[in-house]
Amino acid sequence: MAGVSQLPCLDFSQEALNQIQEGSDGWKCLSHNVREACESHGCFLVVYDQIPAKLREEMFMGMKPLFHLPEETKKKYTSSIHFNGYLPKSHRAPLLAGFGIDDPSKLDMAEDFTNLIETLHSMSSKMVELNSVIMKMIFESFDMPKHYELNSKNYSCSFRLMKYDAPPRDTDLIVAIPAHTDQNTLTILCEDEVQALEVFYENSWNQVAFPKESLLVLVGDALKAWSNGRLHASKHRVTMSKRKERYSYGFFGIPKPGTTVEVPQTFVNKEHPLRYRPFTFSDYVSFIASNRTDDALEVYAGI
Ligand SMILES: O=C(O)CCC(=O)C(=O)O
Ligand SMILES: [Fe+2]
Write out pLDDT tens, residues 203-214: 999 999 999 889
Q: Which ligand is nearest to the CA of 100?
A: 1
Q: Which residue, 15, 66, 42, 12, is CA-closest to 180?
A: 42
pLDDT at 104: 73
ipTM greater than 0.85: yes
pLDDT at 61 over 80: yes
The answer to whether the Cα torsion of 280, 282, 283, 284 is positive or negative is positive
Distance 150 CA to ligand 2 centre (A): 27
| 236 C-beta closer than 6 A to ligand 1 | yes
Q: What is the mean pLDDT of the chain?
A: 91
Taken as a whole, the chain contains a residue count of: 303
Binding site membership of 182 for ligand 1 (Cβ less than 6 Å): yes
Which distant-in-sequence residues (6+ apart) come within 8 Å of 215 by Cβ? 45, 46, 48, 51, 130, 188, 189, 190
198 close to ligand 1 (CB < 6 Angstrom): no
Instruction: To the nearest 10°, report the CA torsion of 65, 70, 75, 77.
Output: -30
Among 34, 41, 31, CA closest to 181 = 41
Distance of alpha carbon 218 from alpha carbon 23, whole angstroms: 24
Across the range 18-43, mean pLDDT stands at 94
CB of 282 closer than 8 Å to CB of 222: no
User: Ligand 2 mean position to 182 CA, how many Å?
Assistant: 5
Q: What is the pLDDT, as a whole number, of residue 1?
A: 57
Instruction: State if residue 235 touches ligand 1 by the CB under 6 angstroms criterion.
Output: no
Model confidence pLDDT, tens digit, residues 138-171: 999 999 877 776 677 778 889 999 999 999 888 8
Q: What are phi and psi of 242, to 5 degrees?
A: -80, 155
Exposed (0-12), middle (13-18) or buried (19+): which is 233, by Cβ within 10 Å? Answer: buried
Q: What are the pLDDT digits (tens) for 93-134?
A: 999 999 999 877 777 776 777 788 899 999 989 999 999 999
Q: Does residue 267 surpass a pLDDT of 90? A: yes
Closest of 182, 204, 198 to residue 241, by C-alpha: 198
User: What pLDDT was estimated at residue 5?
Assistant: 54
The residues, ordered by sequence, that sit 6+ positions from 32 with a Cβ below 8 Å of its Cβ are: 141
Residue bearing the CA closest to ligand 1, atom 10: 182
Cβ(221) – ligand 1 distance below 6 Å: no
